Amino acid sequence: MMNSLTLRRPDDWHLHLRDGAMLKGVLPETARHFARAIIMPNLVPPIVTGSQAMAYQGRILAALPEGAVFEPLMTLYLTETTDPADVVAAAQSGLIKAVKLYPAGATTNSHGGVRDLTRVYPVLEAMAKIGLPLCTHGEVTTPEVDIFDREAVFIDTVLDPLRRAMPGLRVVMEHITTAEGADYAAAGGPDLAATITTHHLIINRNHLLVGGIRPHYYCLPVAKRESHRQALRRAATSGLPCYFLGTDSAPHVDALKEHSYGCAGCFTATNTMPLLAHVFEEMQALDRLEAFTSLNGPGFYRLPVNEAQITLVKHEVPQVFPEKILTEAGPVTVFNPGYPVHWHVSL
């Protein structure tokens, strides 16, 4: 039995840090274990230009605790008026590492997203030319499509046609939640990858809905049935280079989660690494955890792997995670897997 595991320091390829008091409160939770993170741009208002991304990067760096070593990898929020030249300049200066596609209305702060994909073709063509990845929120927003089917329908009606129309475009399917998503990513060749969250490896839709609605398990894309969770667990632990960690840790204050119109998002920045060690151990794949958290992401993004390391240790006594992170914006509930976790990060 393995009781200790040393890995290259992990990266988070999909993270929401927000701004202001919330940023200040949640950033230390990520910077404690992670070396880098792809920072999602869905602020209010969103980060749509290179100069806004530069200013946001400055605010993140200024919010870091003393002595923390953490690199925010910036992204732009794609809109129908995004200027291809601005995207190219921001990428070539090294400032941004990706552009995020939110279909308008798909999730938190996505109303400024894209309605008609053909209107952003000039931006996508420029991105394909320079190899800049497009991160996709892969759900259709058509009201007729059932919320549990939105990812599979997106793949068939949006993503696959887009990739055929735009050869060379590098795409990350963000936070996949279905077997269809995992299969499509695996078949897509070197220009396609998928992030998988911590919570989608742990919960299915029963956890969300059976015996009382659990607002802290509500996120988008919504958790699917158990067979999909099993497919995601096989994908994450497969070692295949197309799959890597994107926690999608998405803080909302409790008052907005526990609400008649509750916000989507699970907050996993605090306990992701112990939870992943638990899941990978269950799958008898602890030897593949490093690929998922620390190797495959930099491989796809063509960035160096981290030289620093972290060690995970399995203790007899379960890890006690804080129930909430207290930020100046209000309390944020930490994702609770619902079972004891014996893995600790030893710093």
Q: Give contact residues for ligand NCD (rule: CB under 6 A).
A: 16, 42, 107-108, 137, 219-220, 248, 250, 264-265
Strand partners, 314: 343
Compute how many residues bind Zn ion; rule: CB under 5 A. Answer: 1
Sketch the per residue contact string, 163 through 192, with Zn ion: x for CB under 5 A, - otherwise.
Answer: ------------------------------
Q: Which stretch binds Zn ion (CB under 5 A): 116-124, 200-208, 242-250, 279-287?
A: 242-250
Residue 265 binding partner per list Zn ion, ligand NCD, none, with a CB distance cut-off of 5 to 8 Å that depends on partner kind: ligand NCD
Q: Report d(CA 37, CA 49) in Å as an integer.
A: 19
Residue 296 binding partner per list Zn ion, ligand NCD, none, with a CB distance cut-off of 5 to 8 Å that depends on partner kind: none
Out of 156, 248, 254, 287, the active site residue is 248
Residue reference for tokens 């100069």: 51
Question: In whole angstroms, how far apart are CA 165 and each of 80, 158, 159, 161, 294?
Answer: 18, 11, 10, 6, 32
Beta carbon of residue 114, minimum distance to Zn ion (angstroms, whole number):
16
Q: Report d(CA 226, CA 232) in Å as an integer.
A: 10
Query: Of these, 86, 151, 180, 248, which contacts Zn ion (CB under 5 A)?
Result: 248
Beta carbon of residue 74, minimum distance to ligand NCD (angstroms, whole number):
16
Residue 277 binding partner per list ligand NCD, Zn ion, none, with a CB distance cut-off of 5 to 8 Å that depends on partner kind: none
Contact between 333 and 257 (Cβ < 8 Å): yes
Helices (H), 225-310: 226-236, 254-257, 272-282, 289-290, 296-301
Contact between 38 and 135 (Cβ < 8 Å): yes
> Between residues 16 and 278, which has the closer beta carbon with respect to ligand NCD?
16
Peptide bond into 46 cis (omega under 30): no
Beta carbon of residue 212, minimum distance to ligand NCD (angstroms, whole number):
20
Q: Which stretch binds Zn ion (CB under 5 A): 27-35, 116-124, 187-195, 247-255?
A: 247-255
| 191 included as an active-site residue | no
- Angle 163-165-168 from CA coordinates, rounded to 5°: 55
Residue with CB nearest Zn ion? 248
Residue 2 has a CB neighbour count (10 Å cut-off) of: 10
248: region left, alpha or beta (phi > 0 left; psi from -120 to 50 alpha): left
Beta carbon of residue 132, minimum distance to Zn ion (angstroms, whole number):
19
Catalytic site positions:
248
The contact set with Zn ion (CB under 5 A) reads: 248
